Amino acid sequence: MSDSHEKTEDVKVDDALLAPDLVPNLRILYLVLFPTCIGVEMTSGFDSSMMNGLQAVNSWDSFYHSPRSTLLGVMSAMYSAGAIVALPFVPLVTDGLGRRWAIIFGSFLMIIGAVLQTASQNFAMFVIARFILGLGIPFAIVAASSLLGELGHPKERAILGSLFNSCYFIGSIVAAGVTLGTFSMASNWGWRIPSLLQIIPSCLQITFIFFLPESPRWLISKGRGAEALDVLVKYHAEGDADSEFVKAEYIQIEKTLELEKETARVGWMDLLKTAGMRRRVLVGAFLGLATQWSGNGLTSYFLARILDNVGIHDNRTKNLINLATTCWGFFNATILALTVSRFKRRTMYLACTISLLLVFTGWTVASARYAMDEDKPASRAVIAFIFLYSPCYNMAYNALTYTFLVELFPFHVRAKGIAIFQWFSRMAGFFNQFVNPIGIANAGWKYYISYCVFLAFEVLFVFFLFPETSGRSLEELAFLYEGNELKEQKKRVENEIRHHDNDDVSNGKLSDVPDTPVRDSTYVD
């Protein structure tokens, strides 16, 4: 075909897919994705904000005999401990039963944990309940983040992934508002009500999940091509079975999965056998550590103790600041989620890490100044830096991480790759939640220096080792580090398209695709 004809076809395809009046199916899909997938992170946000708020709820503090230091660390860290135990089994469920059933399984576990937490009668029961909550969250997170990238339209994949993490703040706002409303209650319902409300996100997932289709890539990998094609036609072409876009998309997915199967070694240790996979694992593991060891764990779980160290002791004031920071976080995270996907991934990660280093250094200096002479302006400066920290963190670690992970790992190891990220993230989170209260209590502002050092390391790691993934389809990115396989993939897809002569689609296989090569522009974000 001529270049001019190709451009004309592209315009028609893009206009049909993006015109608001012609995409009712896609709009419905995104509405259902919100409670089932995008909203999964609400549980994590609710948990961290609730634990922050409960430390300023008198009835909770009295019931558990004012836990501080090690005991407080154990209560917070058991959520991450549960996730660490569950993660080796997550890919078995996600890849074996499908993305939807993994979300359902994780949601049921979280409901059980939330109910037990609400009914807790002692320290041990509370800790066990939080462990069960942690068991459920990785099943839902790994499956939901994979499903968003595999089910959403290629042009909106990055935005969907960014919104996934911004929903963390919806849960945080609800928990902060609830604890602000219950902190003065004299009865134990002052802390049981926030614990009970933690079941809401999981109930939403179970309620709406059956209105959501399964991942087309997972269906094709299981030999269910007809179902996968139906999903792509319905949501990516609004029911047009003759859509060139969907035909090319289906062929690219199918041929890429075939090539992946030929070269795939999907055991856990096999992730380390090739240079490309080792690079992916290294970057995924680093992201797991960086998303927890950048200082965010301090404000997520121990804001009350930080405020104590700068002279703020009133519980109502603490809960108000907690609510204000979560509302501000939701606002800037949502704005960033809708905008950062327009920029290159590596550039945004560099901007994120450099700004975090500068802000956290200022935070540390202000905390030191207050510790030395109880300077009131220094106390206010710490609060200002806490608010400044939020957009610096959210511009990449919140807005891009799951988008980047879905792009980084090819389909056949995607669940394992995100599980590796989650494992390092939960291990770092466990360390944070256990050690942070001890460090804050014993070292004060000096403890923050360790975060400044790690943030400096993050800047160097991103600069030297992060790949650029923007502007390419998931199928192209499947061979990000494997040049020969990428050439073979493109050759197979183009040959498949050229050798189809009819316009029929039968038995889930495409028997006709126009003589148009698959070009990168069709699949860019």
How does pLDDT run across 279-308, given as a tens digit for each residue? 999 999 999 999 999 988 888 777 877 888
Per-residue pLDDT, averaged over 7-17, amounts to: 40
Both ends of the chain: CA-CA distance in Å?
25
Is 521 a residue whose pLDDT tops 50? no
Compute CA distances 237 → 131, 249, 259, 503, whole Å: 43, 11, 26, 16
Per-residue pLDDT, averaged over 219-241, amounts to: 90
Each residue of 392-410: pLDDT tens digit? 999 999 889 988 998 898 8
What is the phi-psi region of residue 381: left when phi exceeds 0, alpha when psi lies from -120 to 50, beta otherwise?
A: alpha
pLDDT bucket at 10, cuts 50 / 70 / 90: very low
Distance CA 346, CA 468 (A): 6
Q: What is the pLDDT of residue 452?
A: 95
Q: Mean pLDDT lowest for which of 63-77, 261-275, 362-376?
A: 261-275
Give the HSE-up count for residue 19: Cα atoms under 13 Å, Cβ half-sphere: 10
Per-residue pLDDT, averaged over 387-394, amounts to: 94
DSSP secondary structure, 9-57, as one string: HHHHHHHHHH-GGG-HHHHHHHHHHHHHTGGGHHHHHHHHHHHHHHTT-
| DSSP structure class, residue 398 | I
Q: What is the pLDDT of residue 374?
A: 84
More confident residue, 162 or 332: 332
Each residue of 442-498: pLDDT tens digit? 888 888 999 999 999 999 999 999 999 888 777 677 777 766 555 565 565 556 655
Is 36 a residue whose pLDDT tops 70? yes
Compute CA distances 208 → 144, 229, 461, whole Å: 13, 22, 40
Each residue of 127-151: pLDDT tens digit? 999 999 999 999 999 899 889 888 9
Is 515 a residue whose pLDDT tops 90? no
